[in-house]
Amino acid sequence: MEQFKVAVVQAGSEVMDKEKGVKKVIRLIEEAEENNAKIIVFPEAFIPAYPRGMSFGAVVGSRTSEGRRDFYNYWNNSITVPGPETEQIGKAVKKAGAYAVIGVIEKDDDDGQGTLYCTALFFGPDGKLLGKHRKLKPTGSERLIWGEGDGSTMPVFDTPYGKIGSLICWENYMPLARTAMYAKGVQIYIAPTADARDTWFASMRHIAAEGRCFVLSCNQYMTKEMFPEEIASRDEFKKLPNELTRGGSCIVDPLGEYIAEPVFGEEKIIYGDINLGKIAEGKFDFDVVGHYSRPDIFKLSVNEKKQDNVDWNEGDK
């Protein structure tokens, strides 16, 4: 399938309500299906929300009881992977017969842990969860609420629509992480984000040209009215402008040119026609992990082993 259509969903979360969030995801998948999209992309932290402007009552050296209540609400509306929410989304993806990549906040319940991760989930057209990528390095204050992923969740999936992989938001500013993705042959490079600054779009065009890949950048459009009134720690939130995230989702081709320019100020599904032949055309004169590399000078080592806190030694048998 060298030529096909992709959909980038620019929409706002159903904040702190995972049930409504799943319903909105399903509705938007159905809309993208009606427009014959074969790959459907959602923003970073779409379920239950990117907590913009929420400090959770945390400053250096102290926390507040109100902030802990807010964090509990955020944690309680995050999802386990796999879990009932991924099953519901999987059914909608299967009906659409497409691939889908969805940003969620993942609640790690393994062995009683409570850590949250900013995660991108990959679904296949059979509705099955193919895998996930956990954000390697939360940015700034995100580190107060999200843990760090390890190298075991950096997949690139081989599909009939090219090799699909993802880095989340400012991970895309990590040159070695990008190199790892290029070395895995990523062709459909998915960049869910919460960044709508002008500098972000320059980066998306650079990555497309650097990796000679298609870049699908997906952001939310959010206003303050979308956040519930029951948030307890709202002092910093109140100071923010009404338009919290202006959008800016876009699609870029392997030469760094827009297929779909950034869209601002509205919820909208952005569509683009992909021709995988453009990748080979681009690599004619630049292949960052091929003929334009110098492995005799530069080497990258990637540790893809799952990192566990405890190694259980069963003793001599």
Q: Rounded to an integer, what distance in angstroms lies between the CA atom of residue 14 and that of residue 19? A: 9
**Active-site annotation holds for 250:** no
Whether the CB-CB separation of 235 and 214 falls below 8 Å is answered with no
**Active-site annotation holds for 278:** no
End-to-end Cα distance, the chain: 53
Selecting among 14, 18, 33, 44, the annotated active-site residue is 44
Residues 6+ apart with CB under 8 A from 42: 9, 11, 25, 28, 100, 101, 102, 103, 192, 218
**Active-site annotation holds for 135:** yes
Residue bearing tokens 């409504």: 20
Q: Rounded to an integer, what distance in angstroms lies between the CA atom of residue 24 and that of residue 13? A: 8
Phi first, then psi: give them for residue 75, nearest 5 degrees: -60, -45
Selecting among 169, 213, 218, 250, the annotated active-site residue is 169
Selecting among 24, 135, 163, 278, the annotated active-site residue is 135
Q: Which residues are catalytic?
A: 44, 135, 169
